[in-house]
Structure 1
Amino acid sequence: MRHDELIELRREIHRHPELAGGERRTAALVADVLREAGLDVRTGVGGHGVVAILDAGDGPAIGYRADMDAVAVPGGAAAHLCGHEVHTAIGLGVARALAREQTSSRAVFFFQPAEEACEGARAMIDDGALDAVLPREVYALHCAPLPTGTFAVAPGFGHPGQDIFRIEGLSHEEARRFESLVAGLSTVTPPTSRDELERLVEDMQILDGPLASFVYAQVHREDDAVQGWVRAWPDSRYEEIRSLLHSQAGPCVRFIERLPTMINSPEHALACARHLNATVLHASYPFNGEDFALFLERVPGAMFFFGVGEQGLPHAPDFAVDECAIDLGVDAMTGFLRTRREQPSWSSNA
């Protein structure tokens, strides 16, 4: 796709944001573009998910995932304040670029709904997204407020999981106490300024540094209950926190769901770092869960941070994208996937 086509595609999705589970319009647009490119397209996968297969011959396929949903803003509206419309535009650009090449390799693209709710990956996989073509390895990128066109990747790290819980049957005073207890578990706080973000990125580059172990907790109180979630690293921290809550709340605490930890394959992440000249990180980003973890449980691969400019922070009203990043992302990821699908064995050539 030409530069102006990709920019307009991104703007079209941005103008019509859809919340997790409601990506009808975006999914239809994605499917149309992929069909025009000649890919074999399946829609309605795990909700509004789209799977597209580039079947250019025999041999293993390389997978690529892009998420499509927007975030909720006050009042229940939707807005693209996290860059998912950029992920989608880059994914479509990569699919079209690879489709134009005459090769004997294969690729499969997953356009995922409901990432913000951490529900879409599970729904797509349960609905057979990986059944027709199980890729040899799978990749994704996520927008970040970094210099335009730059990459960062965390081999052996990624994003924490999430433990969701509810404590019921409390008096008003007990609910206040548990609200304070859970809030006090956090050892990190999200960056609120450019300086804080830069310090966070610096900390993530330190092996066994300040983010080698962390807890980030959120909680809200009701009249006789509290509900919240905890993100932690390493995974052993979850058992510590569960034991603490059990000791304090006994049978009143109920753990509702545990979302998995996303860990980048060291081999594949380092292959990315070499090819894309990416900054290597030695810690996980504490403030986002990521259900791409479920793809990585089935298939080795990695997610990269991709710089789209340094204006605003993700999920903040002033988050903005330098649209020049889109072409750079398409070129970088097309080249990277091309080199990966030419590898005879991921285990020995990562």
Structure 2
Amino acid sequence: MSDMHSTPDITTLGALLARLPQTRDDLADLYRDLHTHPELPFAETRTAGLVATRLRDLGLEVTTGLGGTGVAAVLANGPGPRILLRADFDALPVQEQTGLPYASTTEGVMHACGHDMHVACLLGALDLLVAGRAHWAGTLTAVFQPAEEIGGGAQAMVDDGLFDRIGTPDVVLGQHVAPLPAGLIGCDPGPALAATDALKVTLYGKGAHGSRPEAAIDPVVMAAATVMRLQTVVSREIAGGETAVLTVGALNAGTKDNIIPGTAELKLNIRTYTGPVRAAVLAAVKRIVEGEAAVAGATRAPDIEPIDTYPVLVNDEDAVARTLAAFRRHFGEESVLDPGRATGSEDCGIFATASGAPLCYWFFGGIDPDTYRKAQTAGTADRDIPSNHSPHFAPLIEPTISIGVEAMTAAALTWLTPRQT
């Protein structure tokens, strides 16, 4: 493992990046194509096909259908470390409202989280690394993952024998475009992204005519009381020094104004960083949901069902320090920051946990710097800068793609063994 402690010089990185201007237009076209044709989790067949074709054209050994629609590729280039570079490629059930000429043509589906950008950047980095293979030694593995948005894709690929196909990595590297100025890179060591528990709660009442509420057990009132009581979990049951978020993202009940329905459904999203806090929040949700149903006189206990779960994403401190040192050398000190922990969630960490490898997962900006600066000066950045999952989210194509390609290439070279040419 002594090769893992080598450090690429800026000349080597520059030699690889010299090819980037030749590929920018193609990567931009690819990005626009992916953005126009988004696909939902585990249905990314067109995207997977495009990715697999490009990987084969680069000369990599390609495996498709991993975990359903996942794609993995390997390039063995002599003795040295085995690194895993990861991108996700599923879209969201969002109706796009950007007005872009390359906006989604799929009704109700949009790349609202930037996974199309991740694919373009990783393919761009692979192109540079393959073309510059004389400068490094080791084994390059790339994972294009489905279904990140439902927290199932990484585990599905692992369960389908990913590491039997590509080998066990010595490090896992991943990145995500964010509503930051293009040119900035942020990475937080330790528990950087929260665990998620998404739950569906079904409350059972008794239906009746709206004119005779005395004949009903009203699940709408039951749901309203439950929502209000759930707001006390974080504020009154979690210590001030801990972090938790509990959001009721959906409340559905009834079909008509004069009908009291028989059921109501809530969808909850919980974010935590530690096992004890997670257990406390989940226990409080169960107690409150069941308690409000009992107080309302429900004749059937509510159902609480999991929708999806993400583990905490933990960045290895040494891996972060080493990778960020390379970013600072290339991009400059002023372009690299520690954004602190975020309450978003990601399943990229599963590849690290399942393989026992350290993880470095960073964010790179995708917003026009002038637009961001003006909004920040006006104090309206939260309102005027669309975030991930917004129907208006639209990363600036350049320099965002170039920054993402450069970051992934620099990170990869940080872990591969340099060769004298």
Aligned 1:1-350 pairs, distance under 5 A: 2-74=23-95, 77-100=108-131, 101-102=133-134, 103-132=136-165, 133-171=167-205, 172=219, 173-185=221-233, 213-221=243-251, 222=253, 223-248=263-288, 249=290, 252=302, 254=304, 256=306, 258-277=309-328, 278-283=336-341, 285-286=342-343, 288-298=344-354, 299-309=357-367, 310=372, 311-323=385-397, 324-342=399-417
Aligned equivalents of 1:246 and 1:219: distance in 2?
17
Q: CA deviation at 1:145?
A: 1.3
2:121 maps to a residue whose letter is I
State the alpha-carbon separation in 1 of the partners of residues 68 and 400 from structure 2: 29
CA 1:228–1:216: 2 relative to 1, 3 Å = closer
CA distance in 1, matches of 2:387, 2:193: 17
Given the superposition, is the C-alpha separation of residues 185 and 15 from structure 1 closer, same or farther in structure 2, using an over 3 Å criterion? Answer: same
Query: Following TM superposition, by how much is the alpha carbon of 1:96 offset from its aligned partner in structure 2, in angstroms?
Result: 1.4
Are the equivalent residues in 1 in contact too, given 2:322–2:414 (CA < 8 A)? no
SS in 1 for 2:31: helix
Q: Give the partner amino acid of 2:412.
A: L
Aligned-pair CA distance for 1:308:
1.2
Quote the residue 1:202 is aligned against: none
Amino acid at match of 2:27: L
Does the 8 Å contact 2:121/2:405 carry over to 1? yes
* Structure 2: tracts of 5 or more residues without a match: 1-19, 97-106, 206-218, 254-262, 292-300, 329-335, 373-384
Q: Does the CA-based 8 Å contact 2:95-2:110 persist in structure 1?
A: no
Shift of 1:328: 2.1
Q: What TM-score does the superposition give when structure 2 sets the normalisation length? A: 0.70
The 8 Å contact of residues 71 and 144 in structure 2, kept in 1 or not, is answered as yes
Between the two proteins, what is the percent identity of the paired residues?
30
Q: Counterpart of 2:17?
A: none
3-state DSSP class of the match of 1:140?
strand
Point out the more displaced range, 223-232 or 266-275: 223-232
- Give how far 1:97 is off: 1.1
Shift of 1:186: 5.7
Q: Cα gap change, 1:327/1:166 in structure 2, threshold over 3 Å: closer, same or farther?
A: closer
Please say which of residues 334-343 and 118-127 is displaced more in the overlay.
334-343
Deviation of the 1:211 alpha carbon:
8.4
Residues 181/220 of structure 1: CA separation in 2 closer, same or farther (3 Å cut): farther
**1:138-172 superposed Cα distances (whole Å, 9 cap, x missing partner):** 01100011121210001002211112334445431
- The 8 Å contact of residues 157 and 263 in structure 1, kept in 2 or not, is answered as yes
Distance of 1:246 and 1:18 partners within structure 2: 35
CA RMSD of aligned residues (A): 2.3
Structure 1 residue 183: Cα displacement = 4.4
Offset at residue 294 of structure 1 (A): 1.1
Letter in 1 for 2:407: A
In structure 2, the CA distance between the partners of 1:244 and 1:306, relative to structure 1 (3 Å rule), is same
Which structure is higher in helix share?
A: 2
What's the secondary structure of 2:54's corresponding residue? helix
47 and 163 in structure 1: CA distance in 2 versus 1, 3 angstrom threshold: same
* Structure ID, larger Rg: 2
Task: Kindly state the Cα deviation for residue 342 of structure 1 after the two structures are TM-superposed.
Answer: 2.6
Letter aligned with residue 266 of structure 1: E
Shift of 1:68: 0.7
Q: Aligned partners of 1:80 and 1:259: how far apart in 2?
A: 20
Cα distance in 2, alignment partners of residues 237 and 228 from structure 1:
16
* Deviation sequence 1:174-224 (CA, Å, 0-9, x none): 33222222345466xxxxxxxxxxxxxxxxxxxxxx985232323433424
Q: Corresponding residue for 1:207?
A: none
Deviation, structure 1 residue 228: 1.9
Contact 2:81/2:415, CA 8 A, preserved across alignment: no
Deviation at 1:317, TM superposition (A): 2.5
| Rounded Cα–Cα distance in structure 1 between residues aligned with 2:188 and 2:245 | 18
Closer, same or farther: CA 212–243 of 1 in aligned 2, 3 Å: closer
TM-score by length of 1: 0.84
Counterpart CA distance in 2 for 1:246 and 1:73 is 30
